[in-house]
Each structure stands twice: as C-alpha cells, then as structure tokens.
Amino acid sequence: MKTSMLPPVRVDPALREAAESVLGEGETLSSFVETSIRAQVDRRVTQREFIARGLTSLDEARRTGEYYAADDVIEELRKRLEDAKRRAAAGRSKGRV
C-alpha cells in the first residue's frame, strides 16, 4: 500500500514546544501527530456510532411508546458496576488478576 502525506499545518510555536515536551523516548513529532490523528478519528467514529444508536433507540421508543426514566437506568448501571467490582475482587482474592 502506498502511503500518503497529510497537509502541513502551521501552529503557534508554543504548541509545537508543548508537543515536543511530551514526546516519549524515541518518539518523533511526526509519529506523535499520526497517533493523535488516529486517536481523534477513532473518537469521532465512536461518537458518530453512539449518536446513531441513540437516534435509533429514540425512534424505537417513539414507535413503541416504551420509555425509561433516567434514574432507573442509572440505578441499573450502578448495580451492574457494583456486581462487576465484586466479581473482580473475588477474582483477585483467588489469585487471578
């Protein structure tokens, strides 16, 4: 596969210095920029998919008339989190990570 170039971007010198100051050992500014772009693309794809699922859910709720109170949903999520924490703690106590 042939590679492609991104357009050069002019930035404030302070931003470049800040970016250079956080580079890891052996990391180049170019690899940092590429990694940052990949992460932002992933975030935006995830966000777009999340919004699409939400809109689909809204359409389904309107179609069926079945809605859930936010407090009920949050309580259910809290219970799931507590259960997951208990299972994780039980796994650690048995020598598992």
- Condensed to tens digits (0 to 9), the pLDDT of residues 7-27 reads 999 999 999 999 999 999 999
The pLDDT, as a whole number, for residue 1 is: 83
Find out whether 38 and 46 touch, Cβ atoms under 8 Å. no
pTM over 0.85: no
The rounded mean pLDDT for the chain is: 95
